[in-house]
Structure 1
Amino acid sequence: MTGDPGGLIARLDHAALRSTRRRLGGTPAVPVARGLSHFGEHALGWLAVGGLGWLSGRHRDRWADAVAGVVAAHAAGVVVKRVVRRPRPVLADVPALVGTPSKLSFPSAHSCSTAAAAVGFAPVVGAPLMGGLTAAMLVSRVLLGVHYPTDVLAGAALGGGVAVGVRRVSQRRREVRR
């Protein structure tokens, strides 16, 4: 990334990546992180949860808004990733523990879609559950060595912001129809 005087952000990213791996590598957190990685790939796990929620027949507007937010956030993350083109971490002492569909890192699309799911699903399933799942997903990306902490933080901010915007637009449309 550019605009990092003296490489401070890069040094902090590397230190946090190494520290996360040192503390959690070799623990049950690794297989959990791999499971989260597969769940979050292309936002498919979140889309499935949203679809099942919608099919339940309760709070359909909220579930539909949440799914729209997840789709929009994931798309926004992919677009930004292709513009920024930051390579994934390549540290000899922190090898990637899971495959990735792209060599690009910033922002984390998993974090984008997960934060969007948190914004959209929390009113229906509860903020504590979604907050915990979001934190787990963000940490998992760093633990697996496929993202820097700044990738996941930026992804979460982007995804959450996009989801809030989608929800507001959807709510206004419903109000206009009434």
Structure 2
Amino acid sequence: MNSDTTTAPSGWRSGAIRGADRVDLAIAWFCQAVVILVGTLLLALLAANVAARYVLESGGFRFAQELPERLFPVFIMAGVVLAVQRGGHMAVETVLSKLGRTGARNMLVFGHIIVIASYIVLSRDIFELADMLWIDKSPVMGIPSSYGYLTLGGGLVLVILATATQATRVALLGPEAMPVPSPEELVS
């Protein structure tokens, strides 16, 4: 069978695609829940603090400065992962269009492998740094400074998984399996 056929995969290939779909669905569900929950919490916290400034003699809640600083990285990383899944990251596709289907598939898979390898190294270093920063704590709530680094490292692990599922689809189905961002996200 020619590796460039566009027919649906069968056997182990079909199972690999289903597995990639399940992983993507779990990641998307988790990240969407994080965006909704953390976004709602940030909005409620900031609104409550504004109201408290007018009501409380202290001028608001002391923790209201620190907590959004700790929650915002979680909000952002969940959004980054969702953008990766939906193809909403920056891409230059001039070369791909000139390579043909097999060349584009190979280049995309190679690019995904580079991204995965780079993020593995980066996330490993971030987790090592986070391990060193447990002793540095925020002044009001006592939250370790490592929290932001753990958020970044965890987000990169999810990006690695999302990139691996894309690489799996591209390797088995071809370059047309790449996610296509919505038209309002495209810049020419």
TM-score, with structure 1 as normaliser = 0.34
Higher CA-based Rg: 2
